[in-house]
Each structure stands twice: as structure tokens, then as C-alpha cells.
């Protein structure tokens, strides 16, 4: 069932959430470098805490909800895919490799034929 396309209008509060999320990402970098003297454990904890807050704020915005819905739809569609059996996958892979080998041989022969035609017969450049 296809979902109807609805165009949403970003409100001021929604734009503020996106700005806050961006500011929190920036704050995570500042926190990482500001906590350099306390050691790597505190640096990473500060970085991950600010990034986690940024993700939460983003997911609470309209853009985040749209992204979450898109992800859920994508997972739903992937579950509908009928994957080939192992034997069929191996056969198709062999067909592709065979075709690539034949095409490579054809292109090599074409190249050598044109090289012989132009350089040896027409121009007379002997190697």
C-alpha cells in the first residue's frame, strides 16, 4: 500500500530543533577537545553524550520523523524481496564471469586486429 505524499511545513519550533541538533554536534567536537587534559575516556564520553543528544533532538524533529518513517518503509520493502537460492546465485555468478571473460577476449581481439590493420597495413609501422 503506497502512502500518500504529504508535504509538511517546517515550523519555527522544528527549525529550532534542527539548529539545536547542529549546535550539539558542534558542541560534541568542542567537548572532545576541551576534555583533552582529563584523558581519552572523558573525551569520548563527552563526545558520545553530545552526539547522542543531537541524535535524539534530530529524531524528535519533523525531518527526523520523516527519516525514521523512510527507514521503516525501506526495511519493510527489503523483507518482501525473494532472495535466490544458493544454487541459483552460483549459476548467475558463473554466467556473469563467463560473459566478462568472453567480452574481454572479444575486446582484446578487436584491439589487436585494429592495431594490426592501422599500424602494420595502413601506416607501415613495423614493431
Q: How far apart are CA 48 and CA 25, in angstroms?
A: 10
Q: What string of H, E and C letters represents the secondary structure of the chain?
A: CCCCCCCCCCCHHHHHHHHHHHHHHHHHHHHHHHCHHHCHHHHHHHHHHHHHHHHHHHHHCHHHHHHHHHHHHHHHHHHHCCCCCHHHHHHHHHHHHHHHHHHHHHHHHHHHHHHHHHHHHHCCCCC
pLDDT of residue 94: 98
pLDDT of residue 65: 93
pLDDT in tens, the chain (127 residues): 566 675 655 788 899 999 999 999 999 999 999 998 999 999 999 999 999 999 999 999 999 999 999 999 999 999 999 989 999 999 999 999 999 999 999 999 999 999 999 988 888 776 5
Q: Quick one: which of 11, 97, 116 has its CA closest to 60?
A: 11
pLDDT of residue 23: 96
* Residue ranges per structural domain of the chain: 12-80, 85-127
Q: Please give the grid coordinates belonging to residue 28.
A: 560534541
Amino acid at each position: 500500500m503506497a502512502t500518500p505524499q504529504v508535504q509538511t511545513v517546517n515550523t519555527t519550533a522544528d527549525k529550532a530543533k534542527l539548529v539545536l541538533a547542529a549546535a550539539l554536534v558542534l558542541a560534541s567536537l568542542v567537548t572532545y577537545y576541551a576534555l583533552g587534559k582529563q584523558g581519552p575516556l572523558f573525551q569520548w564520553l563527552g563526545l558520545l553524550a553530545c552526539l547522542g543528544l543531537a541524535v535524539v533532538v534530530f529524531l524528535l524533529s519533523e525531518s527526523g520523523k520523516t527519516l525514521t518513517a523512510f527507514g521503516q518503509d525501506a526495511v519493510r520493502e527489503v523483507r518482501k524481496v525473494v532472495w535466490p537460492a544458493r544454487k541459483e546465485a552460483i549459476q548467475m555468478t558463473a554466467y556473469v564471469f563467463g560473459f566478462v571473460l568472453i567480452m574481454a577476449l572479444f575486446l582484446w581481439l578487436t584491439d589487436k586486429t585494429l592495431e594490426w590493420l592501422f599500424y602494420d597495413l595502413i601506416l607501415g609501422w613495423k614493431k
